[in-house]
Structure 1
């Protein structure tokens, strides 16, 4: 693993965090009358189709039965996460789901320890806790009394968070066996294709497909934007970083997305920062910087000496 690859992976994940942060405003432009599971399934399917020509050009289409099964498992994890998120949002607020999502990097660290034991894991625990605490402060700024989530919402979205936490370390583990040699394009194409199929089948059973008739031209434009920048680009950047950066460090960039959203409110929408936000932003910055430094130490230790 070259240092230039390591630096490029982190730069890519910084862009990933910015794209994720910007996607929330873009998603709000799409009609709320359309089934969100259907929209996500269409986004994933569109992205997979965009990746298909690149896959054919690279000649990365060879697939074993075991490889196909493993991609289906990874696609199912994506479908479970998105499905659980939208189901939970029917019973609780976005603030509560956002708070729960801060647990995903910590859960990823646990799965990483189980699937890929590494003595450097303990170095990332404290920085991750600091960043998580800061993210919680940023997310909870809009919470008020009586907004506690129901047990059902916590259970459903908790299952989705476990699926998302397992996604990165399992991807890296499979890339050393049945998916060995599979590049970011191949990983993104097959995982998104299976994720889209699972979500669209669910829409067919639940009846969510009927809301497709409500799609307007404006919705279609925003759907294309979200597919290209909030899904296609972020999936490629994620799989580009997996294997270069530890999975728990990769997913921890979601904390920076939370910070970027707050910064957008401060500087773009001219909202005055609250004391809790300022403390949270500082903690996210400190925790993320410490994670980056621990990742650099791990890479230097892994490099052969002359």
Structure 2
């Protein structure tokens, strides 16, 4: 196997692991004490994640960014802060089905934004794969809601949530753009640390302005341990995997793995409640799995073609 194919395969494997971590983290979030300030909790989570990256960052070459890189990291942190802030705001204003339906556009948005910034090549095949994955993820969302189409609503609240999805899609695009121009560190850990640090500061500022700080006093030791777990794994490791994948794959291919998240959540649900298994879950599951298999085959084919090209 060519070295380029090994690199692409490793990036895909990392993004598959990303989907497993994110999909399995949703039950953990539900164990937190109700009523805790969500933005301040996220700021704490990002802080823990950034601190967990320090040992890896200190061994990286040129891990301290210049002024231009720091500005770009700040914009990337703003994307993270914007998505998480809007997501928490929309939690009680937008139905779960509407959020899922809007979120499936993220890979397509990443592809479009990547085309605009010229970090994503024109690829009709990738668009078709992303479309198949989007249909599968939507089918899984409908299956989870019991097919209740009345829960699919679109108004100004949904428009604001969609802007958060755009911000999330822009994160890997900006990472790829900064890498392609030599503005960001070539080390995935360094990029992860600085974007998490910037995002954590911005989310903390928003939390201090919008939420009662005294609400954090209700946090128990168990809550802190859960947040620490989410910080290290569901934030630190996952964003490192995104940055690692972005260094090799295009933004559209990286974000395509978000289609696997509802599939993993479905599997976790079935483990705890096997009586919920039904045929209505099958079409979406098959479409999502097929899209990921096609994505892997496409990536490996491109790697083999690139390896055969003369230097």
TM-score, normalised via structure 2 length: 0.93
The CA deviation string for residues 271-291 of structure 1, in whole angstroms up to 9 with x for no partner, is 332333111101111111112
Distance 1:117 1:42, change over 3 A: closer
Mapping 1:203-218, distance limit 5 Å: 203-218=207-222
Aligned partners of 1:142, 1:14: CA distance in 2, in Å?
22
Q: Which residue of 2 aligns with 1:7?
A: 9
2:159 aligned partner: 155
Separation in 2, partners of 1:142, 1:11:
27
Structure 2 portions without partners, runs of 5+: none
Segments of structure 1 that go 5 or more residues without pairing to the other structure are none
State whether residues 51 and 185 of structure 1, in contact with CA within 8 Å, keep that contact through their aligned partners in structure 2.
yes
Going from structure 1 to structure 2, the CA distance change for 1:215 and 1:267 (only over 3 Å counts) comes to: closer
In the aligned structure 2, how far is the partner of 1:71 from the partner of 1:140?
A: 36
Matches of 1:90 and 1:228, distance apart in 2: 27
The 3 A distance-change label for structure 1 pair 118 and 12 is: closer
CA distance in structure 1 between the partners assigned to 2:4 and 2:239 by the alignment: 22
Could you say what secondary structure the match of 1:303 adopts? helix
Q: 1:92, 1:147 within 8 Å by CA — same for their partners in 2? A: no
CA distance in 2, matches of 1:267, 1:195: 34
Of 45-54 and 217-226, deviating more is 45-54
Q: CA distance change for structure 1 residues 39 and 118 in 2, over 3 Å: closer, same or farther?
A: closer
CA deviations 1:148-169 (Å, max 9, x no partner) are: 3351221111110111111111
Partner of 1:195: 199
CA offset digits 1:199-245 (Å, max 9, x no partner)? 00001111343311111111111111111111111011111111211
1:85 is matched with which residue: 81, 84, 87?
A: 87
User: Contact conserved, 1:87 with 1:156, CA < 8 A, in 2?
Assistant: no
SS across alignment from 1:252: helix
Partner in structure 2 of residue 272 of structure 1: 276
Match of 2:47 in 1: 45
Aligned-pair Cα RMSD in Å = 1.8
Shift of 1:304: 4.7
| Structure 1: distance between partners of 2:108 and 2:20 | 21
Moved more, 23-32 or 148-157: 148-157
Contact 1:113 1:121 in 2 (8 A): no
Partner SS state of residue 58, structure 1: coil
Count of aligned pairs between the two proteins: 306
Query: For residue 301 of structure 1, what is the aligned residue in structure 2?
Result: 305
